[in-house]
Amino acid sequence: MTAVNLLELDREALAAFCEQLGEKPFRATQLFRWIHQRGASDFDDMTDLAKSLRQKLAGRACIAPMGVVSEQASADGTIKWLFDVGGGNAVETVFIPEDDRGTLCVSSQAGCAVGCRFCSTGHQGFSRNLSTGEIIAQLWFAEHQLRKRFNSPEGQRVGLTDDKRVITNVVMMGMGEPLQNYSALVPALRMMLDDHGYGLSRRRVTVSTSGVVPMIERLRDDCPVALAVSLHAPNDALRNDLVPLNRKYPLHELLAACRSYLAAAPRDFITFEYCMLDGVNDTDACAHELLALVAPHGVVHGREGVSGISCKFNLIPFNPFPASGLKRSPNERVMAFARILQDGGVVTTVRKTRGDDIDAACGQLAGEVQDRTRAHERMTRAPVQVHRIGSPAARAIEAGRAPESVAPHESEA
């Protein structure tokens, strides 16, 4: 009999498993606390469980985290781990410490099939989805490894103790498109939120998506957490080239899903992520197009425009990698772009680059991926073409025709 990895089970599923063993539901809660709150991996350490139960578990279950291939530490305190997920694949997870919080960036897939032009993961291709246990194992390992580390004499000097939570925020912004792995994602999110597990607030767990519209709608109903949308372009013509998924779910559908999500969202706004690419999407005209996108009539007060989308923009300096063919916008251009959005009444921040010296910054995660999607062929494209609203190419896009100046794309996986 193959042992069940209990990291795969949320508390409801764990209760069902305990019932199969002839145990009462409260045993599942005890077991869940031992695994996720205390980081136990040996049933013999779970001293308040009956010996008979521990013996049952030893024969039928296990707590099997992923193997750590490597760990790298940045000069700014960021830590990156490479985890072995088998089959020649490995995924990366990043811990970002700050004065008021500790954020863990978690991967959901070995690779990514979306193929965004500016993302190193997309250039690696796609192998497979991670399981629920592989997603939560990243948090399980990081939380308890860091708690032990910070409980050392050095950690105690900065006020961290063994019973103090190290990770306060989780962002599903690592390798992969989380909403294309929905069935594994949602149980993992529930474990993060469970008061008997990690007890994170819905406001402190963020799912980032490139725009899988049907799954945004499902997440709203099933497990609404903070939502970040990888926008990166102010019109369909440019976004089709930067984020190929836009060809399936264009901006008007994506923005409608965002409006709908706000009804259940734990925050009163959607975060739009925008990677700043020199000469591609960073012009004043692009900034004004973005304002028109969130407030079509140009009237924006606070975060909410007449479109009804309460939002903020997070501008992300591009982290270059050789295969992208793209360049980072100069700092002065980023700040000028931000000022236009701010003057239009939209809350706008510029993300601070962390961990770029260990390739742990936004867009740099790559891991090791046994690609099944011919990514190298798909990602070898003509230079990005910029299409303004009202231009012939943009009108062709709106009419459902491919403009001649845009290189053809294969359909998304």
Task: Choose, from 92, 273, 368, 412, the residue flagged as catalytic.
Answer: 92
- At residue 384, the pLDDT reads 56
- At residue 305, the pLDDT reads 42
Give the side-chain half-sphere CA count within 13 A for 204. 15
Mean pLDDT rounded to a whole number for the chain: 84
Is 20 a member of any domain? yes
Residues 6 or more apart from 214 whose CB is under 8 A from it?
A: none
Q: What is the dihedral of CA 219, 224, 225, 229, to 10 degrees?
A: 40
- At residue 395, the pLDDT reads 53
Q: Which of 26-30, 392-396, 404-408 has the highest mean pLDDT?
A: 26-30
Query: pLDDT (tens digit, 9 = 90+) per residue, 230-241?
Result: 999 999 999 999
Query: pLDDT (tens digit, 9 = 90+) per residue, 20-79?
Result: 999 999 999 999 999 999 999 999 999 999 999 999 999 899 999 999 999 998 888 899
In whole angstroms, give the CA distance from residue 168 to residue 377: 40
- At residue 113, the pLDDT reads 87
48 shares its domain with 118 = no
- At residue 267, the pLDDT reads 87
147 shares its domain with 17 = no
Query: pLDDT (tens digit, 9 = 90+) per residue, 317-357?
Result: 998 877 778 899 999 999 999 999 999 999 999 987 765 66
Query: pLDDT (tens digit, 9 = 90+) per residue, 154-179?
Result: 444 444 444 567 999 999 999 999 99
235 shares its domain with 339 = yes
- At residue 339, the pLDDT reads 97
The model's pTM = 0.85
Give the count of domains, the chain. Answer: 2
191 shares its domain with 226 = yes
CB neighbours (10 Å) of residue 74?
A: 18
82 shares its domain with 29 = no
Tell which of 13, 34, 62 closes a domain.
62
Residue 45 sits in a domain whose CATH number is 1.10.150.530
Query: pLDDT (tens digit, 9 = 90+) per residue, 200-222?
Result: 999 999 999 999 999 999 999 99
Give the side-chain half-sphere CA count within 13 A for 139. 34
Q: Which helix (H) or strand (E) holds 349?
A: strand 347-350
In whole angstroms, give the CA distance from residue 226 to residue 85: 27
Check residues 396 and 32 and name the one with the higher pLDDT.
Answer: 32
Which band of pLDDT confidence, cut at 50, 70 and 90, is reported for residue 306?
very low
Query: pLDDT (tens digit, 9 = 90+) per residue, 119-155?
Result: 887 777 888 999 999 999 999 999 999 998 876 554 4
Which band of pLDDT confidence, cut at 50, 70 and 90, is reported for residue 225?
very high
Is 410 a member of any domain? no
Check residues 80 and 386 and name the one with the higher pLDDT.
Answer: 80
Residues 324 and 381 sit within 8 Å (Cβ to Cβ):
no
- At residue 304, the pLDDT reads 44
CB neighbours (10 Å) of residue 391?
A: 15
Is 413 a member of any domain? no
Q: Which helix (H) or strand (E) holds 105?
A: strand 102-105
Catalytic site includes residue 362: yes
Check residues 395 and 93 and name the one with the higher pLDDT.
Answer: 93
- At residue 125, the pLDDT reads 82
**Cβ-count burial 108-133 (b if 16+ within 10 Å, e if not):** bbbbbbbbbbbbbbbbbbbbbbbbbb
Catalytic site includes residue 92: yes
50 shares its domain with 78 = no
Residue 203 sits in a domain whose CATH number is 3.20.20.70
Strand pairing report for 89-97 and 79-86: antiparallel
Residues 209 and 272 sit within 8 Å (Cβ to Cβ):
no
Domain, as residue range, for 261: 67-398
Task: Choose, from 223, 286, 362, 412, the residue flagged as catalytic.
Answer: 362
